[in-house]
Amino acid sequence: MKKILLFALFVFNFSFSQEVEKISYKFLNPEIVSNINDYKKAFSTADMSAFRYESKSNVIEFKSGLKVELFSVNDLRNKNLKLDLQNFRNPGEKSSDDYYFTLSDNKKFILQKFTRTEFRNLKGQTK
């Protein structure tokens, strides 16, 4: 019985932490990367709720140049999507477009990597 409950809890918990393409996010320029499936895979295990706003979409950018629109919490509620919708950004908070994201080495996870200023400074050091 405990194994069944543990399994059910795992499945239930996992279902609340997945992003769903075209429902919770949309790739805006997928042609810019040659490996869009790596990004799809990483988003399928990601919880991007900390980078969403309640009433407006948010566009995040990867170091590769890929831009992704994260739909608002209200949009997700209207679609009855099972995500943790409690942990979202308020409009006055620092915008996530101040950050660049990247994929982990194994292509399974999304990493918040640099602020735009840090990234510009790194690029300036390599010139």
Mean pLDDT along residues 37-58: 90
The two tokens of residue 26 are 């949309």
From start to end of the chain, where are the E strands? 25-27, 58-62, 67-70, 99-103, 110-115
Tell which wins on pLDDT, 99 or 3.
Answer: 99
Q: Give residue 71's pLDDT band: very low, low, confident or very high (50, 70, 90).
A: very high
Mean pLDDT along residues 20-43: 92
- Whether residue 66 contacts residue 39, with contact meaning beta carbons closer than 8 Å, is answered with yes
Model confidence pTM above 0.75: no
pLDDT greater than 80 at residue 17: no
The two tokens of residue 37 are 């499936």
- Whether residue 43 contacts residue 19, with contact meaning beta carbons closer than 8 Å, is answered with yes
Number of structural domains the chain divides into: 1
- Across the chain, mean pLDDT equals 76
Q: Which domain, by its residues, includes 65?
A: 2-126
* Interval 35-46: pLDDT, tens: 999 999 999 989
Tell which wins on pLDDT, 73 or 123.
Answer: 73
Give 1-5 contacts, CB < 8 A, sequence gap 24+: none
Measure the CA–CA gap between 85 and 11, rounded to whole angstroms: 18
Q: Give residue 102's pLDDT band: very low, low, confident or very high (50, 70, 90).
A: very high
**Identity at 125, one-letter amino acid code:** Q
DSSP β-bridge partners for residue 115: 99
